Amino acid sequence: MRTFNFENLNKNEIAYLLTTKNEEEVKALYEASYRMKLKHIGNIVHLRGIAEISNVCTKDCYYCGIRKSNPNVNRYTMTKEDVIKAAKFSLDHNYGSIAIQAGERDDPEWVDFVEEIITDIHALSDFKLGITLSLGEQTRETFARWRKAGATRYLLRIETSDPDLYKKLHPADHSFENRVENLKLLRETGYQVGTGVMIGLPYQTANDLADDILFMKEMDIDMIGMGPYIPHHDTPLATADYTFDEAKQLDLGHRMIALTRLVLKDVNIAATTALQALGGDGRLRGLQVGANIIMPIVIDDTNYRKNYFLYDNKPGVDENCESFRKKLEDSIISIGESISYGERGDSRHYKTRMRK
């Protein structure tokens, strides 16, 4: 068994720990990552109500179920009233914040709509509810408008930090360089900046994933939303020469959370729904190896939820928000974690860098 300085891992060590079959080494990794979480975050879980407000998308990413060229998607955009209803559910249940996610659009009507939603949520909650956006690439002006309206966090997943792999995942009109520039714009316009990658992609290596973690560190990211790659049957990437192994993907997802916690230390890390899709306790296990954010559903209308499929076999689509909430919160408490009710759960890394 090799020993590691888990406080200061290099790229080769990260890649090794992503692939080692030595159970003692993996156990040591997870114990170290949880200690790092306790040191910088505590055994605290922040809840973010997730509202997937539209599956209309102008992008054509080869891995995504709501890509614009998929003819088998029933497109929707929630009404403003329904979005506010989801925000009220988050507020009433003391979640502290809401995450607004959608396909990528940048037309003026959409930009205005999002700005109005942000304004109305703050009017409803008297600024008690934090707002995270995950709405893709935008202009500096749009980022600034939404920030001025009151959004404080923005998640823009890079998906992979390897430009060559990025090209294999996207059409020619999608730009890796523009994606990175958008992350910089988010920081310049005052957001807590989030990004993330897909884990276990076709063509991806352990070295690629190690580089992803180091990329997020170099970019001084505040929050991480990443999950295992799960194919969607209506996408070009699903036909790649690739063997999908659920157990392997889940294991790799947990190792990435652990290693990201060790390298980035005080950032927010989400235990994503994809972990749950691969294993019933996948998200809970994510908390035990370093994650500190979970995003419960807050939209009861299944006509919306059943049409937001980025990947196959997404869990919780038919569940009632209230029963889902109770099961989720009970399960979090059952593993010894504490739920931070009524707090926005801002990134401690963001607070630290703003003091510099």
45 φ/ψ angles, rounded to the nearest 5 degrees: -115, 125
Query: Cα separations (Å) of 271 from 205, 276, 289, 296?
Result: 22, 9, 10, 11
Quick check: 271 and 286 in contact, CB under 8 A? yes
**pTM, full prediction:** 0.97
User: What count of other Cβ atoms lies within 10 Å of the Cβ of residue 313?
Assistant: 13
Helix (H, G, I), strand (E, B) or coil at 63: coil
pLDDT-derived band at 301, boundaries 50, 70, 90: confident
What is the length of the chain?
356
219-234: pLDDT as tens digits: 999 999 999 999 999 9
21-59: pLDDT as tens digits: 999 999 999 999 999 999 999 999 999 999 999 999 999
Give the pLDDT mean for 144-148: 98
Give the pLDDT mean for 111-126: 97
User: Percent of the chain having pLDDT more than 70?
Assistant: 99
User: Percent of the chain having pLDDT more than 90?
Assistant: 88
Amino acid identity of residue 201, one-letter, is L
Q: Would you kindly state where each structural domain of the chain is located, as residue ranges? A: 11-355
pLDDT of 348 above 90: yes
- Judged by average pLDDT, the poorest of 60-74, 92-106, 252-266, 317-331 is 317-331
Nearest Cα residue to 271 out of 196, 208, 206: 196
Class of the domain covering 11-355:
alpha beta
- Transcribe 274-304 into DSSP letters: HHHHH-TTHHHHHHHTT--EE--B----HHH
pLDDT of 154 above 80: yes
